[in-house]
Structure 1
Amino acid sequence: MPAETLAVIITVLRIVIAVVFIGMGVNHFVPRSARTMAAMIPPWLRPDGRVTPLTLVYITGVCEIAGGLGLLFPPTRVIAGVALVVFLACVFPANAYASTRRDRFGSLAIPFIPRLLAQIALAALVLAATFL
């Protein structure tokens, strides 16, 4: 594959991933979505009351938006990409918790193994978009 073609593919991948993270981050500020995401935080991960689950949802939304934007700018690309991979690992417990409660979270309760595989694939794509 010619280098120019690979460069275009990586640029498109980077833009798509950035848009996905920015969009997911913005969704954290939609009231209904934010409430649902707050409910997905397992009780054992909830802070001691100083920070509410909803506040955690807002913080993670800001992280996703910042990470997505950071992927688009060469000076911040590496730190943003690494931070997004760490972010994906940090939010996985909430997704795992939701995966066992389909009656409560409906289609957001993606079964554990497919969710884990998707999370790993997304992390790999983020790394590819960061370092290639």
Structure 2
Amino acid sequence: MDSVTFDVVLTVLRILIAVAFIAMGVNHFVPRSARTMAAMIPPWLRPDGRVTPLTLVYVTGVCEIAGGLGLLFSPTRMIAGVALVVFLACVFPANAYAARHRERFGALAVPFVPRLIGQIVLAALVLLVAFF
């Protein structure tokens, strides 16, 4: 693959990943989705009452939107990529909790191993589009 083709593929991939993060972030503000995501936060990760799980959902939504937008602008691309990888690691316990409680979360409860593999692949793709 020549460098022009690689740049085009990378740009398209960067836009797709950014749009996906932005869309997922916006979804954090849809009331029904937000309530479900709040329920996915494991009890052992819930703050001591000063910050509600719903507030954490809103904060993570803002993080996803900011990270997605950051990938689109070259001055912020690398820091956004690193921040999104940290973000993916931070939200993984909620996804793992949902995976253990499939009867409660239905389709959102992707089984643990496929979710882990997906998170790793997504993190690798984020770093690829952030650093190249």
Q: TM-score range by the shorter chain?
A: over 0.9
2:31 corresponds to: 31
- Between the aligned residues of both structures, percent identity stands at 80
Task: Please tell me the root mean square deviation across aligned C-alpha atoms, in Å.
Answer: 0.3
TM-score (norm 1): 0.99
Q: Confirm or deny that 1:71 pairs with 2:71.
A: yes
2:82 is matched by which residue type in structure 1?
V
Q: Distance in 2 between matches of 1:2 and 1:98?
A: 43
Q: Distance in 2 between matches of 1:58 and 1:86?
A: 17
2:125 is matched by which residue type in structure 1?
L
How many residue pairs get aligned? The number is 132
Structure 1 gaps, min length 5: none
1:33 is displaced (CA, Å) by 0.0
1:15 is matched by which residue type in structure 2?
I
1:9 corresponds to: 9
Q: Confirm or deny that 1:22 pairs with 2:22.
A: yes
User: Secondary structure at the residue paired with 1:75?
Assistant: coil
2:75 is matched by which residue type in structure 1?
P
Q: Distance in 1 between matches of 2:26 and 2:45?
A: 23
- The residue correspondences of 1:34-113 to structure 2 (distance < 5 A) are 34-113=34-113
Measured against aligned partners, the alpha-carbon deviations of 1:67-112 in whole angstroms (never above 9, x if no partner) come to 0000000000010000000000000000000001111000001100
1:31 is matched by which residue type in structure 2?
P
Q: Confirm or deny that 1:120 pairs with 2:115.
A: no
Q: Distance in 2 between matches of 1:24 and 1:130?
A: 19
1:51 is displaced (CA, Å) by 0.2
User: Secondary structure at the residue paired with 1:14?
Assistant: helix
User: Secondary structure at the residue paired with 2:76?
Assistant: helix
Moved segments of 4+, more than 3 Å: none
Structure 2 gaps, min length 5: none
